[in-house]
Chain A
Amino acid sequence: MSRLKLPPWLVLLLPAIIILMAVVLVPLVLSFYSSFTAYQLTRPDSLTKWIGTFNYRKAAGDANFWWAFGRTVLLLTIALNLEMLLGLGLAVMVSKVTTGQRLLRTAMMFPMMFSPVLVGFQFKFIFNDNVGLVNNALQSLGLTDVAIPWLVDGHLAMFSIIFAEIWTSTSVFAILILAGLYAIPQDPVEAAKVDGCTPWQSFRFVTLPFLMPFIYIAMAIRSLDVARAYDIVQIMTNGGPARRTELLWTLIGRTAYVDARMGYANAMGYIAILLSIFFTIYFFRKLTAARSELGMGV
């Protein structure tokens, strides 16, 4: 009886290969394949119904999809920039604190400890037009006597979502930038003072360039996070009102699991992933540039 003799390197790699195939490759191939079919979750036999690039062409011409795409980019841009600015401010302030800094650092991380679903519920309550905290406060202070429809008005709803998003994730920036502030060598900062810089100028010309790599790392992490934003939006507005807060993944999620049109959802998903890939590459380029700027190598 002849036994199949595998080379040892293959045998040793086999467990990893099998696990990767099962967890990554099969779903990837399957979802990619299904994006070329009319696959519907309710009709399993439709998985074999090949329709070519129909789903992709349909997505390309679907205004709802592109609105969601644009809204996601908008959310990403606004949230990331505001989080960066707020995180930078927070980090700089915390770094100046002499007593109780550890406590502050810990407190700063509290928002990250909550599940986004809970944050969604919390802000859904805070922004509720009848019993919400914000309206209550505004009315008690006499600033307004009408109930502002925070989650019902299209623009305000988007604002509320961005607010919640920033509340949860500013600390990501703050923590990473704070780490950067600790890592900055003191000598160049002192040299800048002697060279005639005002505090703002030393920050702008010396401290900030040192922080840029840390900011770009935070940007890369957060851009992936926001590009797949789902939970907070799903809870707070469910994409409404009238799709005004619909993001890529709330749309894709609804198409896949509510409408059961898995093939089409997968096609949209593959287009959506391009966005994440684009931002990741973009920020890593920036990171590399900022690092080589500082002579830190590539």
Chain B
Amino acid sequence: MAQVQLQGIVKAYGALQVVHAIDLDIADGEFVVLVGPSGCGKSTTLRMIAGLEDISGGMLRIGDRVVNDLPPRDRNISMVFQNYALYPHMTVRENLGFSLKIAKRAEAEIAKAVTEAAEILSLTPLLERKPGQLSGGQRQRVAMGRAIVRHPDVFLFDEPLSNLDAKLRTQMRVEIKKLHQRLGTTIVYVTHDQVEAMTLADRIVIMRDGRIEQIGTPLEVFETPVNTFVATFIGSPPMNLLEGRITDGTVELADGTRLPIPPGHGAAEGRAVTFGVRADNIMPVGHALPPTAHMADVEMEVQLSEPLGTETLLFAMLAGTEVQAKMLNPRPVRLGERLRFQISLDKCHLFDAETGAALRV
């Protein structure tokens, strides 16, 4: 077990810099998820921690050691790869025991560790099979088993669930979470799926273009996103963003609709701003949650509805922008029907229109 510390970590391929001096402290036993769109540098960062990519600059510590120049085998880490990366010519048992065999552990110890890992991941009946005879979910479990037999300081997961179907992904997500609770080992987990990030992480690190946008607990990044990128990346459906300008202490949208400034936010008169509201906080009157302290309401024309069972997602137009709203206890909605929506201002956000940064006071 160990903490992991990234100080000004840089990755550059020649003149092209892809990770820009990121700082990150991961506590011992913490589950940290790096999340971001493709090409944001999250996998590269993970591979630098693993030692599979050279570190171009900065300092990386695992435990008390600076490991910048150590090969992967000396870092005491385990990694689970997106494509499982099992050894196809070895049985499940050999796959699981391989790292211990390389470390020249005693036969009995290897057998015990393998049995234990197989037990945890319900792989016992599959021990004599080859990877080619396993399903995707089983292969993924073998890959995880291979990681845990070594009792490493840190687990690294590189998009481990993206090759699985939706149902299996949910199942494996639970298994990974349980595994972490059981072993308590530090985990660094990379994904582009914000649901995975939200459900698994102690802390989420949101990355874009090789920079860290925000670090925080799942609730922090959900409730107080630092900018419009985080606001739209975390949460499903993405936060609605409405362009406007501060006029007479309100946010005036393009069509003249005025919305109050959300509590806790502020901006100078005349400034161009973006008003952010999640679908959960804009609901039709009569189909909404009980009102909070600060409310506002707007009228919108419904363009499309997506019934989801317990709720219906409504797509409506407001000041030339498509807005997604939720309808609780749904009733059928006609296309083009005009409805009054109430907005819980306490849960809304105000961002600078140019920089996208949150305008909290």
State the A residues within 8 Å of B (CB).
185, 187-188, 190-198, 201, 205-206, 209-210, 293-295
Q: Do the beta carbons of A294 and B89 come within 8 Å of each other?
A: yes
Q: Do the beta carbons of B89 and A191 come within 8 Å of each other?
A: no
- Nearest-neighbor residue (CB-CB) of B86 within chain A: A188
Q: Do the beta carbons of A196 and B99 come within 8 Å of each other?
A: yes
Nearest Cβ on chain B to A109's Cβ, whole angstroms: 30
10 A-B pairs with least C-beta separation: A295-B132, A187-B85, A195-B99, A191-B85, A196-B73, A209-B89, A193-B72, A194-B79, A295-B88, A293-B89
Contact partners of B99 in chain A: CB under 8 A:
195-196
Alpha-carbon distance A188/B84, docked complex (angstroms)? 8
The 8 Å CB contact of B89, one of A187, A197, A198, A295, is A295
- Nearest-neighbor residue (CB-CB) of A190 within chain B: B52
Contact partners of B72 in chain A: CB under 8 A:
193-194, 196
The 8 Å CB contact of A187, one of B50, B51, B84, B156, is B84
Q: Do the beta carbons of B52 and A294 come within 8 Å of each other?
A: no
Contact partners of A205 in chain B: CB under 8 A:
87, 98, 102
- Nearest-neighbor residue (CB-CB) of A290 within chain B: B89
Contact partners of A188 in chain B: CB under 8 A:
85-88
CB within 8 Å of A: which B60-117 residues = 71-73, 77-79, 81, 83-89, 98-99, 102-103
- Nearest-neighbor residue (CB-CB) of A197 within chain B: B102
- Nearest-neighbor residue (CB-CB) of B81 within chain A: A187
A-B contact pairs, 17 of them (CB 8 A): A185-B83, A185-B85, A190-B79, A190-B81, A191-B86, A193-B71, A194-B79, A194-B156, A195-B73, A195-B78, A196-B72, A196-B99, A196-B103, A197-B102, A198-B73, A205-B98, A295-B131
Q: Do the beta carbons of A193 and B103 come within 8 Å of each other?
A: no
Alpha-carbon distance A192/B51, docked complex (angstroms)? 12
- Nearest-neighbor residue (CB-CB) of B134 within chain A: A295
Contact partners of B150 in chain A: CB under 8 A:
195-196
Q: Do the beta carbons of B73 and A190 come within 8 Å of each other?
A: no
Q: Do the beta carbons of B88 and A201 come within 8 Å of each other?
A: no
Q: Do the beta carbons of B131 and A191 come within 8 Å of each other?
A: no
Q: Do the beta carbons of B85 and A193 come within 8 Å of each other?
A: no
Nearest Cβ on chain B to A288's Cβ, whole angstroms: 14
Nearest Cβ on chain B to A96's Cβ, whole angstroms: 16
Q: Do the beta carbons of B73 and A191 come within 8 Å of each other?
A: no
Q: Do the beta carbons of A195 and B84 come within 8 Å of each other?
A: no
Alpha-carbon distance A45/B355, docked complex (angstroms)? 103
Q: Do the beta carbons of A294 and B88 come within 8 Å of each other?
A: yes
Contact partners of B156 in chain A: CB under 8 A:
194
The 8 Å CB contact of B73, one of A197, A206, A293, is A197
Alpha-carbon distance A295/B132, docked complex (angstroms)? 6
Q: Do the beta carbons of B103 and A191 come within 8 Å of each other?
A: no
- Nearest-neighbor residue (CB-CB) of B133 within chain A: A295
Q: Which one of A191, A193, A198, A293 has the greatest number of beta carbons of chain B within 10 Å?
A: A191
Contact partners of B132 in chain A: CB under 8 A:
295
Alpha-carbon distance A191/B73, docked complex (angstroms)? 10
Nearest Cβ on chain A to B100's Cβ, whole angstroms: 9
